[in-house]
């Protein structure tokens, strides 16, 4: 049975950045749920590999520069961010050309707001993974729903229940524990990751704002990537470095992994509710820990493990708060 995707106003703050799709015809069968879980696991893996590739690119640049007497320049974070949007936009282009009606948008302003927040979150997270372990950055990134909740209450007039405020305190406490200076985690890097989470939280609210329009999933993904490409392209002009062939391959891989992850999450969202998918996405922390250990020799310390546990506890509390949405728009933004 075919399913036609549509974007409708979500009834609650989503637990992760791109999970904004509510789709007509969601399957509740056991097979459908199994497929949804598998798609989510794949999407989480692709996003984890994307961050790992950005970290590997940075380390490779440093090592090559030292080995060759600084003849190889380090690729700036904004250029890495540009590549992520450029490749994703190009991969989405054929789907838009195949159906030109997807070029029509309802509210360009909403795309701009969402893109500024998303671009800032991505650039800051790429910066954070260069200085702290992947697992630490990933765990701190899971505080984004907390910031989304706060922004939704402030900007969209949503009512936040007590259990979610408790979850927010637990989650932010976990982030602060991870941010404590230690042998593997620098406070500055952890705070950058926390800032990235704040922008990603703002992006979630921006996505909810976009979800109130009639634009389809492909349109939202395409224009979000194009807007990110333009903004990051302008920002990187002051510090552009011509990449080597190897650097170009890694930059292309980052963008490819990004769109692959987004595609998996969209497919998962067509089969199940976001609340069902959220726990599967938390395996990103396991992916990051394994990749960090195998590729970068990163070891999870006890304080970091405690902080990760607190953040995951916070996420579970927020996910299990299934009371109906009581959001009250102060005004039609």
pLDDT digits (tens, 9 = 90+) for 2-20: 333 333 333 333 333 333 3
Q: Which of 26-40, 55-69, 217-231, 269-283 has the highest mean pLDDT?
A: 217-231
Mean of pLDDT values over 175-185: 69
What does each C-alpha distance from 191 to 125, 137, 181 come to in angstroms? 10, 10, 11
Question: What digits encode the pLDDT tens for the residues 73-101?
Answer: 778 889 999 998 988 888 888 888 887 77
Q: Is 70 left (phi over 0), alpha (psi -120 to 50) or beta?
A: left
Instruction: Indicate the SS3 state at residue 122.
Output: helix
Question: What digits encode the pLDDT tens for the residues 239-287?
Answer: 888 888 888 999 999 989 988 888 887 778 777 766 566 667 778 888 8
Q: Is the pLDDT of residue 317 over 60?
A: yes
Looking at residue 108, its pLDDT comes to: 78
CA of residue 278 relative to chain centroid, distance? 13
Alpha helices by DSSP H, listed for 98-211, are 108-129, 134-141, 144-155, 162-179, 187-210
Largest CA distance in the chain: 61
Looking at residue 226, its pLDDT comes to: 86
Q: Is the pLDDT of residue 190 over 80?
A: yes
d(C-alpha 93, C-alpha 99), whole Å: 10
Question: What digits encode the pLDDT tens for the residues 97-113?
Answer: 887 777 777 777 778 88
Looking at residue 320, its pLDDT comes to: 67
pLDDT over 90 percentage in the chain? 12
* Tokens found for residue 300: 């999870």
Confidence of residue 204 (pLDDT cuts 50, 70, 90): confident
Looking at residue 195, its pLDDT comes to: 93
Instruction: Indicate the SS3 state at residue 252.
Output: helix
Domain limits of the chain?
46-320
């Amino acid at each position: 049975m075919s399913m036609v995707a549509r974007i409708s106003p979500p009834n609650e703050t989503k637990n992760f950045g791109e999970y904004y799709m509510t789709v007509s015809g969601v399957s509740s069968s056991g097979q459908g749920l199994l497929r949804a879980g598998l798609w989510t696991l794949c999407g989480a893996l692709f996003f984890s590999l994307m961050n790992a590739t950005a970290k590997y690119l940075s380390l490779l640049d440093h090592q090559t520069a030292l080995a060759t007497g600084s003849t190889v320049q380090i690729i700036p974070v904004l250029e890495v961010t540009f590549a992520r949007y450029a490749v994703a936009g190009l991969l989405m282009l054929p789907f838009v050309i195949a159906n030109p009606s997807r070029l029509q948008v309802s509210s360009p302003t909403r795309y701009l707001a969402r893109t500024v927040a998303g671009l800032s979150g991505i650039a800051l997270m790429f910066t954070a993974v260069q200085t702290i372990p992947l697992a630490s950055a990933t765990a701190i990134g899971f505080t984004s729903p907390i910031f989304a909740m706060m922004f939704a209450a402030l900007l969209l007039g949503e009512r936040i229940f007590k259990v979610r405020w408790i979850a927010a305190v637990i989650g932010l406490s976990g982030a602060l524990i991870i941010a404590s200076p230690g042998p593997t985690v620098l406070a500055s890097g952890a705070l950058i990751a926390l800032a990235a989470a704040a922008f990603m939280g703002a992006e979630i609210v921006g996505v909810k704002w976009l979800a109130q329009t009639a634009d389809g999933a492909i349109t939202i993904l395409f224009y979000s990537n194009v807007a990110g490409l333009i903004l990051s392209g302008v920002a990187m002009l002051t510090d552009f470095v011509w990449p080597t062939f190897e650097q170009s391959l890694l930059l292309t891989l980052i963008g490819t992994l990004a769109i692959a992850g987004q595609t998996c999450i969209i497919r998962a969202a067509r089969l199940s509710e976001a609340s069902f998918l959220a726990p599967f996405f938390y395996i990103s922390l396991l992916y990051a820990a394994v990749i960090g250990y195998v590729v970068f020799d990163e070891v999870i310390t006890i304080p970091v493990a405690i902080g990760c546990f607190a953040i995951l506890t916070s996420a579970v509390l927020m996910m299990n708060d299934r009371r109906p949405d009581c959001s009250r728009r102060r005004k039609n933004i």
